[in-house]
Amino acid sequence: MKNPVNALKQTSERYKTLDAKDRKKFWIDGLLNNAIYIILVIFLIYTYMKNSNIASASSAVNLLNLVAANLPMALGIGGCIVLTGTDLSAGRVVGLTGAISASLLQATTYINKFYADMGEVPIIAVILLAMLIGGVVGLVNGFFVAKFQLHPFIVTLATQLIVYGACLLYYMSNGNNGQPISGLSDKYTNFVKGTILPKIGGQSIPNYVIYALIVLAIMWFIWNKTPFGKNMFAVGSNPEAAKVSGVNVFLTTVMVHTLAGITYGYTGFIDAARIASNTANSGQNYESDAIAACVIGGVSFVGGTGTIGGVVLGVVLLRIIFVCLNYLAIDQNLQYIIKGAIILLACSIDMRKYLTKK
Amino acid sequence: MKKMKRISALAVVLAMVFALTACGGKDEGKGTTAAPENTTTAPAADGEDTTTAAGGEEATTTAPAAGGEIAQGGAAEGVKVAVFYYNFSDTYISSVRTALDAELNAAGAVYQNFDANGNQTTQNESIDTALTDGYKILVVNMVTSGSSDTAKSIIEKANNHDAQVIFFNRAIEEDGNEGAVLGANDNICFIGTDAPEAGHLQGKMIGEYLLANYETVDLNGDGVISYAMMKGDEANVEAIYRTQYGVEDANAVLTAADKPELAYFDASSQSGYQVDMDGQWSAKAGQEYMQTNLSQYSEANNNMIELVICNNDNMAEGVVSALQAVGYNTGEEGSKTIPVFGVDATTSAQSLIAQGAMTGTVKQDAEGMAKAIRGMVESTAAGTPMADGIAAVAGTNDIYSVAEGVANKLYVAYSAFTGVE
């Protein structure tokens, strides 16, 4: 970690040596490089001027909850993007693992129980199963990407279809006939939505926020402190060079996708209880927000660049857009346009950094 | 050596494919009632063609009818029927599919189901393929709801192959353009619901519920009920009607009893609803909107949302989940309940209503729909004109009614569901 005060001093020293033209460039670059933060702040200030409720504690808690729900998947998909790939199967995996989690953890008294004769299943077993299933899908993705040098886009496009088919069959099976799976047991609901933290501004902070922080810490550790994390960036920026310097490219690719799959499984487990209604369509398009969040946060499709902090920022920005547009009560048709424009703007400004570097 | 490797890889892939198909067949069998695993050859309808249905595990044997109300058992013996669903993942459509599979089995038809997965192009291509494959009766759940052009293009395809089309569920004509397609083609029919009816029923149910519980619902005692509205899809005709009539009809009931009209909770909103941006009618949208709303609107701020109207039950369940997170709608003694209304009467919504966590929904009769379709398949197979077939089906049960002035359009009634008989 650089000392921020020293860094600032250095910058000001450097600034003094610049001539008028370079100084102008310095400011413009500075503005553009931090454009995402600036957009964020402007957006918040504008919303605040129209509706001061945005600055309340309960609004902050709401934002925190939304970010916590969307963060783990973005962290998983971020790894795939670091490898210049992507993952389209994420949303469907959430749908499938959510269905399985919900069906295993229904209240024993529920009338339309999926597994009618099954007693109580330990929650920890179900969360592990969900993560295992997600991990297996990720493993398959990673295997095909690494073994056959296929682009992750096409591999995950294929697995996404397979997982969706499995999900549809699961909903039709056991006499469920495609009905939503609900009637979750109190234990499960409390595990996810219950709260052990004090209420803030009348809004409670559910447990899944704590779990999201744990996931965040684990992912930060993996990305920054393990050889696997270092290998991931090496493979992402130049697989040939990584191979020559002794990195096992095959294993790294498989592991990155498996890790991503595990985060989808986790998301499925959490979302099944958070949303409390599971249909075959649950999870559809989840990946689009997650991918957008990563790219907004500076995880570049160029490969080899990206930080955990960036992903968090991206998720926060997207959720702030969602909350602000609602607080502003903007016409819903316009919301699509605004969201699209902000994503495009944020990403292009961010990419500019890498383009000028090259 | 390398060749060996390739061959073994191929073998593995083939094994996987077979394993998948086998699994598919088994689960499909469970979903339908007593559909045998393997197909038998069915006598072809027109004698020209003696193939079995392409999707082996979907087609079934000629089981005798199990007490069908509409027609005698086996009336569609061996007739090839292709059924096109707009989306397998839709909850209500899944109920229809299960019921219709059973009905068609009972009728002895050889049928195959196609999933358009929400894409009209996919559906058109499936229709082309099925027509080439010799299917003469098409049962179509159009993807593009309310488009007469889409309907016309499907009818044209069918006419080129002398096939007949039974449309169901999703509207095939624009609003205000009734009879444009159905009136012009007597070899087709439509079985569906009157699109605005669900909204009307929901609105009436809400109005009546409010009159009976006005004081309890009006939490801040200002005499006006503030409501939130969750819309499923910005462009869907049904969603638009439900959004409109859910409120308008409730207001009509309220004003008739000298009560003020409902007030949208967010006075600065121009639309008066929140819509699922992905058009999925999803619980996620319901949950996230409601959670965000509740961060601004609460009893502590004296502006709590006092009523939530949702276009469907999935969104309603999401809303209930968000309300439960702040201690409402738990169904426990002494806890406050914000009335939440949906449409569809899914099993999970029914159980929420039983718990007291949700207040009411509108039921679409999936079995009634399937029985009507079976009736039409049988009468069409027997060569009965569509209009006569529709009249015959309408006579079998009170839930059916023939549309005014359009003899080949049948309505299946909705009914309000509040868990109280």
Give the architecture (CATH level 2) of A53-357: Orthogonal Bundle (1.10)
- Provide, rounded to the nearest whole percent, the portion of chain A with pLDDT above 90: 51
Alpha carbons within 13 angstroms on the beta-carbon side of residue A280 total: 25
Mean pLDDT of the region B292-318: 92
Mean pLDDT of the region A232-252: 94
Say which residue, B134 or B63, is predicted with more confidence.
Answer: B134
Task: Give me the domain span that covers residue B162.
Answer: 41-192+365-412
- Cβ separation of A172 and B321 shorter than 8 Å? no
Q: Which residues of B touch A289 (CB under 8 A)?
A: none
- What's the gap in Å between the CA of B103 and the closest CA on chain A? 15
A277 vs A83: CA distance, rounded Å: 34
Number of A/B CB contacts below 8 angstroms equals 172
Same domain, B378 and B312: no
A284 in reach of chain B (CB within 8 A): yes
Same domain, B128 and B208: no
CB < 8 Å & 24+ apart, contacts of B103-106: B103/B68, B103/B370, B103/B371, B103/B373, B103/B374, B104/B60, B104/B76, B104/B374, B104/B377, B105/B32, B105/B33, B105/B34, B105/B35, B105/B60, B105/B63, B106/B63, B106/B64, B106/B65, B106/B66, B106/B68, B106/B73, B106/B374
Is the pLDDT at A151 greater than 90? The verdict is yes
Beta bridge partners of B114: B84
Is the pLDDT at A24 greater than 60? The verdict is yes
Same domain, B127 and B62: yes
Q: Which residues of A touch B369 (CB under 8 A)?
A: none
pLDDT-based confidence at residue A213 (cuts at 50, 70, 90): very high
A-contacting residues in B 73-92 (Cβ below 8 Å): 87-91
pLDDT-based confidence at residue B89 (cuts at 50, 70, 90): confident
B270 in reach of chain A (CB within 8 A): yes
Is the pLDDT at B236 greater than 70? The verdict is yes
- What's the gap in Å between the CA of A231 and the closest CA on chain B? 29
- Do the beta carbons of residue B400 and residue B394 sit within 8 Å? yes
- Do the beta carbons of residue A46 and residue B272 sit within 8 Å? no
- Cβ separation of A168 and B321 shorter than 8 Å? no
B-contacting residues in A 67-106 (Cβ below 8 Å): none
Q: Which residues of B touch A328 (CB under 8 A)?
A: 268
Mean pLDDT of the region A88-117: 90
- What's the gap in Å between the CA of B94 and the closest CA on chain A? 5
- Cβ separation of B283 and A279 shorter than 8 Å? yes
Is the pLDDT at B57 greater than 70? The verdict is no
B319 part of a folded domain:
yes
Same domain, B267 and B407: no
- Cβ separation of B291 and A333 shorter than 8 Å? no
Which of A9-23, A262-276, B32-46 is modeled with the greatest confidence? A262-276
pLDDT-based confidence at residue B37 (cuts at 50, 70, 90): very low
Structural domain boundaries of chain A? 53-357
B78 part of a folded domain:
yes
Q: What is the pLDDT of residue B420?
A: 64
- Cβ separation of A206 and B325 shorter than 8 Å? yes
A66 in reach of chain B (CB within 8 A): yes
pLDDT-based confidence at residue B196 (cuts at 50, 70, 90): confident
pLDDT-based confidence at residue B175 (cuts at 50, 70, 90): confident
Q: What is the pLDDT of residue B17?
A: 54
- Cβ separation of B277 and A335 shorter than 8 Å? yes
For the stretch B387-401, pLDDT in tens is 999 999 999 988 899
Q: Which residues of A touch B277 (CB under 8 A)?
A: 332, 335-336, 339
Mean pLDDT of the region A190-210: 84
Is the pLDDT at B25 greater than 60? The verdict is no
Q: Look at strands B361-364 and B414-417 and give their pairing.
A: antiparallel
CB < 8 Å & 24+ apart, contacts of A186-191: A186/A107, A187/A105, A187/A120, A187/A123, A188/A101, A188/A105, A188/A123, A188/A126, A188/A273, A189/A273, A189/A276, A191/A123, A191/A273
Same domain, B61 and B183: yes
Is the pLDDT at A36 greater than 50? The verdict is yes
Candidates B12, B100, B295, partner chain A, best to mutate (most A CBs within 10 A)? B295
The two three-digit tokens of residue B296, written as one number: 């601004």
Nearest Cα residue in chain B from A112: B347
Lowest mean pLDDT across A205-209, B30-34, B176-180: B30-34
- Cβ separation of B288 and A322 shorter than 8 Å? yes
- What's the gap in Å between the CA of B359 and the closest CA on chain A? 16
- What's the gap in Å between the CA of A122 and the closest CA on chain B? 22
- Cβ separation of A172 and B291 shorter than 8 Å? no
pLDDT-based confidence at residue B10 (cuts at 50, 70, 90): low
Q: What is the pLDDT of residue A98?
A: 95
Is the pLDDT at B272 greater than 80? The verdict is yes
The two three-digit tokens of residue A123, written as one number: 């929650």
Same domain, B187 and B200: no
A51 in reach of chain B (CB within 8 A): yes
pLDDT-based confidence at residue B240 (cuts at 50, 70, 90): very high
- What's the gap in Å between the CA of A25 and the closest CA on chain B? 40
Mean pLDDT of the region A85-102: 95
Q: What is the pLDDT of residue B46?
A: 41
B256 part of a folded domain:
yes
pLDDT-based confidence at residue B229 (cuts at 50, 70, 90): very high
**Domain termination site, one of B363, B378, B400:** B363
Lowest mean pLDDT across A319-323, B72-76, B87-91, B197-201: B72-76
Total domains, chain B: 2
Same domain, B255 and B212: yes
B377 part of a folded domain:
yes
Mean pLDDT of the region A253-269: 97
Mean pLDDT of the region B51-66: 39
Q: C-alpha dihedral over A182, A188, A191, A193, to 10 degrees?
A: 10
A323 in reach of chain B (CB within 8 A): yes
- Provide, rounded to the nearest whole percent, the portion of chain B with pLDDT above 70: 82
Q: Which residues of A touch B274 (CB under 8 A)?
A: 326, 332
Lowest mean pLDDT across A240-244, A334-338, B280-284: A334-338
- Do the beta carbons of residue A297 and residue A347 sit within 8 Å? no
Q: Which residues of B touch A325 (CB under 8 A)?
A: none
Lowest mean pLDDT across A33-37, A178-182, A293-297, B311-315: A33-37
pLDDT-based confidence at residue B62 (cuts at 50, 70, 90): very low
For the stretch B351-369, pLDDT in tens is 899 989 999 999 988 889 9
Q: Which residues of A touch B289 (CB under 8 A)?
A: 326
Residue-by-residue DSSP string for B202-234: HHHHHHHHHHHTHHHH-TT-SS--EEEEEES-T
A108 in reach of chain B (CB within 8 A): no
Q: Which residues of A touch B298 (CB under 8 A)?
A: 58, 202
- Provide, rounded to the nearest whole percent, the portion of chain B with pLDDT above 90: 49
Q: What is the pLDDT of residue A160?
A: 94
- What's the gap in Å between the CA of A133 and the closest CA on chain B? 17
Same domain, B258 and B402: no
Same domain, B149 and B205: no
A331 in reach of chain B (CB within 8 A): yes
- What's the gap in Å between the CA of B158 and the closest CA on chain A? 29
- In this complex, the residue of B31, B278, B351 whose CB is nearest that of residue A285 is B278
- What's the gap in Å between the CA of B343 and the closest CA on chain A? 14
Is the pLDDT at B93 greater than 60? The verdict is yes
- What's the gap in Å between the CA of A302 and the closest CA on chain B? 28
Is the pLDDT at B24 greater than 60? The verdict is no
CATH number at residue B263: 3.40.50.2300
Please state the ipTM of this predicted complex.
0.71
Q: What is the pLDDT of residue B41?
A: 38
Mean pLDDT of the region A114-136: 92
- In this complex, the residue of B270, B283, B325 whose CB is nearest that of residue A193 is B325
- Cβ separation of A172 and B295 shorter than 8 Å? no
Same domain, B318 and B400: no
